[in-house]
Structure 1
Amino acid sequence: MITPLFFLTVSAFSLPLLENSTYSQTDTHCTLTVKEERLQDNIVLTMSTNNNNHYDVKIYHLSDLQAPSRGQLTQQAIDNIEQQEELNYVVDHNLFKRIDNKTVIYTTTIANDANNISPQQFTEAFKAHSYRTKLHITGLNPLAFIASQRQADAFFRCAEQQQIATLAKR
């Protein structure tokens, strides 16, 4: 009796974390998608890279932040915030898709700067923070994203393979 109850309890607490992120790979792209910790169905973070070592970071949400416009995003570690530095990025807010008269999806994208530094820096900081990050975007409440270690490990392995393949072609 105790064993099935223990298994059920452990399963109930671990399922949300396992379903919180997904990883996908094609011949040319690696993508990690992470649902926001509290608003899982309304806000999603995607990080991707391709075989040209181009990184892309987007947050999909339902809030019109004066799209199209520019804004500010601050990235922090979830744990030990006092000891970790804040990283700041310029972001672009845009309309992504109109579902119906009431539902509109927007994107907040880390702006591509010279040599694609900001999206890659964001992705590397996410990895350094143990696949967990807290984001502050002007106009939204603070957001927390925590990826499954298995999914995130697969994404970063794929990104490293893409980088090695790019260097081999040069």
Structure 2
Amino acid sequence: MGFPDESDASSVRAICARPGGGRVITMGFPGLDTDPRGRAWLNPERLEATLDVAVTAGLRLLLILAQADELPEGAVAYVREASRARRVRALALPIQDYSVPGASFLRAWRRLAPLRQRIFADGQAVGVCCHHGAGRSGVVAAMHLIEAGVEPAAAVSALRAQFAETVENKLQYQWLERYPELLASA
């Protein structure tokens, strides 16, 4: 059995250019792995590979969308520390699995708008991770693109071109179709 190459070790799913500058990165939770018995654990090599790929792509802010009870104990703190060591700010903004952003997420999202805009203006990247890097990560990555003027269907298509599982259900897709209306009323 050989060693996995970098693409196998990393859980980065998509690195998508954002109109107006910067990039959006989707990923599975950095380092999350499963042992032979099906138990989740943090694999340090996978964590390093994921963060290294993302930082090379310009990662400056990592939004953690997974809920703490989905992850091994201490996982969020561990990823925050590993991110901080790379000069990346990591913030937990949980969204229920298979769901869409709620009111508290959207309040925090609006408060973070100036930071996100500075990162994009500097040509850097905002990363999003959930459990697998498909549903919630895809929704939030698409939100970034929609805010930059991309139509919702085109935003999802751009992300799916790199990771076909992006935005994993009808609820998420329909919510993104309505997101421009939410922006207009905010």
User: Hey, which of these two has a bigger chunk of helix by percent?
Assistant: 2
Q: Above 0.5 in TM-score?
A: no
Structure with more strand by fraction: 1
TM-score normalised by the chain length of structure 1: 0.31
Query: For the pair shown, which has the larger CA radius of gyration, 1 or 2?
Result: 1
Q: TM-score, normalised by structure 2?
A: 0.30
